[in-house]
Amino acid sequence: MIVTSLRLPKAVMDQVRERAKDRGVKPTALIREWVEAALAREDAVVPISVIMAAVGEYQHRRASWQRRRIFVA
């Protein structure tokens, strides 16, 4: 397995923690289960919150990369 980082709004992560607690698993195990289940469905719909989180992460990384590029140049 690989390790990855994921940025989620606090309210979303609080819900993940609560659901994981209810099921007796760790939040990361529950998230992994959800991702695997979504990938297994061919007609999986991606929630807009996931798309918006990905856009935010892309913007953050791009801005960080551009700042580093200015200092290197």
Q: 31 near 6, Cβ under 8 Å?
A: yes
* pLDDT averaged over every residue in the chain: 85
pLDDT at 10: 92
pLDDT at 44: 65
Q: Half-sphere exposure of 28 toward its Cβ, with a 13 Å CA cutoff?
A: 6
In the three-class reduction of DSSP (H, G, I as helix; E, B as strand; rest coil), residue 13 is classed as helix
- Residue 72 in this model has a pLDDT that exceeds 60: no
This prediction has a pTM of 0.56
Alpha-carbon Rg for the chain in angstroms = 16
Weakest mean pLDDT among 10-14, 26-30, 50-54: 50-54
Q: What are the domain boundaries of the chain?
A: 8-42, 46-73
Over the stretch 23-45, which tens digit does the pLDDT of each residue have?
Answer: 999 999 999 998 888 888 767 67
